[in-house]
Amino acid sequence: DVKVTQSSRYLVKRTGEKVFLECVQDMDHENMFWYRQDPGLGLRLIYFSYDVKMKEKGDIPEGYSVSREKKERFSLILESASTNQTSMYLCASSFQVGNQETQYFGPGTRLLVL
């Protein structure tokens, strides 16, 4: 079974703090993703990575950065947390077979910024 783990299920941080969200997958997948999920807005892609040390902006990268130093680990960084970054953060990894890509998700991290 594919296993994607996230370092925290719940986090509470203060405005201005630097926040690290960690994601680890154990299936040797090339691709990893960070999404945020908000009521009424669905899932929105923040950043993704197709290889180690490689990153691509998604639809809403502002206020975030990422790091992929090892294939299995993809970190999301909030340089200076703000209240509008309170959200559910979902990490995913994927594999590709031909023209199909299947994403597998972690359990999510619910972040509250005060």
Partner 1 sequence: AQSVTQLDSHVSVSEGTPVLLRCNYSSSYSPSLFWYVQHPNKGLQLLLKYTSAATLVKGINGFEAEFKKSETSFHLTKPSAHMSDAAEYFCVVSARTGGFKTIFGAGTRLFVKA
Q: Which residue from 28, 42, 53, 62 is in contact with partner 1, where contact means CB under 8 A?
A: 42
Q: Which residue from 28, 53, 62, 100 is in contact with partner 1, where contact means CB under 8 A?
A: 100
Among residues 31, 36, 47, which one has the least CA distance to residue 94?
31
> Applying CB under 8 A, does 111 fall inside the site for partner 1?
no
CB of 104 to partner 1, least distance (A): 7
Nearer Cβ to partner 1 (17/95): 95
Distance between CA atoms of residues 24 and 44, nearest Å: 20
Piece of the chain touching partner 1 by CB under 8 A; list 13-21, 63-71, 74-82, 84-92? 84-92
> Applying CB under 8 A, does 84 fall inside the site for partner 1?
no
Q: Which residue from 11, 50, 61, 73 is in contact with partner 1, where contact means CB under 8 A?
A: 50
The 3-state secondary structure of the chain reads CCCEEECCCEEEECCCCCEEEEEEECCCCCEEEEEEEECCCEEEEEEEECCCCCCEECCCCCCCEEEEEECCEEEEEECCCCHHHCEEEEEEEEEEECCEEEEEECCCEEEEEC
> Applying CB under 8 A, does 103 fall inside the site for partner 1?
yes
Interacting residues with partner 1 (CB under 8 A) = 4, 9, 42-43, 45, 50, 88, 90, 92, 94, 96, 99-108, 110
